[in-house]
Structure 1
Amino acid sequence: MPTLEAKDTLFRKKSTLNCHGKILSLDTPQVMGILNVTPDSFFAGSRLATITDVLKKAENMLADGATILDIGGYSSRPGAANVSTEEELDRLVPAIKAIVKEFPEAIISVDTFRAQVAEATIDSGAAIINDISGGNLDEAMFATVARLQVPYVLMHMRGTPQTMASLADYDDVVLAVMDELQKQVAKLHQLGVKDIILDPGFGFAKTIHHNFELLNRLDELKMLQLPILAGLSRKSMTYKFLGIDQSEALAGTIALNTIALMKGADVLRVHDVKETKQTIELYKKTTL
């Protein structure tokens, strides 16, 4: 009969990620810096037009304390234009190869919902797949991630970036998000995916009210015993709620990220790495 200690270990939340042989510990919250090689990302400050721009941004983010660089070639803002697979790959692959060559120690995550893009970018040196659709927009994604054996960020969303705003209808948004994520987690486990990170999908098929409810109850997601990623950076729940411009949303983002840390977030996906790293250091000091 297992001891209480063994039982506690059995049900303990997974706290490491195997990123191409680099073991990333989540015992301390980590910063994921956002790199967008798109012309229409929702925050203008994150748009990068050239490889030189990408490398400079990557260098700054790594110096400021980012552990993961999350690179995207398809804007997921509400109402975003569709981008072909070929164009997405043309944006992503050269940028990833350049970062790998210049900063081989960097852990690169790719923001994509397409299995073909996931495979090509992992082959190019990326180590994590960050899927805004949670496997719902490409039926081959789960099998691809399982075969590649890379960490997978499972985000909650309904519909597509073009239709999600019309699908924000919940009796209880937290219970609905947990239920829909859990069903996808079960499929991933059945396929043998070992490293799964949960993202409740702030702003994706959620109203501002839903976003605040999710943040207030973020700790309930810990019941799923998986790491939690919070993507709150400069989103509408900050700037629209406060009636300010997106460029003024840094202070509000820091406030929301602090709450996310207190509620159990393990990874913060952000545009502003330096300020987020400082926030984590101050949070750690209060939890000693």
Structure 2
Amino acid sequence: MSEGGDEVGDDGTKRKGFFSIIFVFNVSGQLSSDSSNVEVKKKEYEGLQRGIEGQIKELKEWFAARMKDIELKERQIEERMKKLDSKEKQFEGQLEEVESIRKKYESKLNEILFKEKQVEAQLKELEDPMDSHDKKGDQAMAIDDSHIFLLEQLMKISPDIESHDDRPLAPLPIHVAIPEHEAEEGEEESDEDYVAESRDSESSDGDDDDEFLPETPAGAVPRHVLPPLHPIPALSAVPSHYHTLDLDANEGAPDCWTCRSSDTLRSVT
């Protein structure tokens, strides 16, 4: 039996040694596989690290290029801003010039409007002269008297004015006025006879109301015998060359001559 027990014991040790060898072999295999896995992982990590470093380098290069572009654009923007500032100053100068021109034209417009109001006022006076006469009172009557005087002067100097009428002009105005009862129709008397008669009348009493003082003879021009002076006749009785006178041509004449002549002519007619 002891021999059988020894055999059993030897087998057990052999088995233990075999299992230990197998275990060691397994452990060494696992270690070798683990070490190989670690090396693989290490290589993968190194590859990833190199990839990340490459990406970081690319990002840095891209960022540097972008910064250069941004700096270039900033310089361009600064140049444009300078140009805009210069143009703004030019526009400000042009605006000041335009404003001065506007003020100048505005002042001229105000002046034109003021003159227009004056012209409108004068036109109203011409359209309705009676109202203006009523407003002026005594001054209007004085102006009317001056119109009559100016019309008389015009009638005296009218033979010297060129007429558009081909008919002969009227004779010169009266040189000497004589009583109506001493004048006969169609009768004319020389200047010498009239002077002699006037000297005779001076020696006699001057109580007669019909006597008139003689005026200075007008040279060799014969004295026209006409009836006594009467008020100014109607415009239709005035010779035709008076009708053609352009009273509006006297633009430089005073207001009492240009603006009131038509009123005087209407009052005469």
Tell me, yes or no, whether TM beats 0.5: no
Bin the TM-score by the shorter chain.
Answer: under 0.3
Structure showing the higher helix proportion among its residues: 2
More strand, by proportion: 1
TM-score with structure 2 setting the length: 0.19
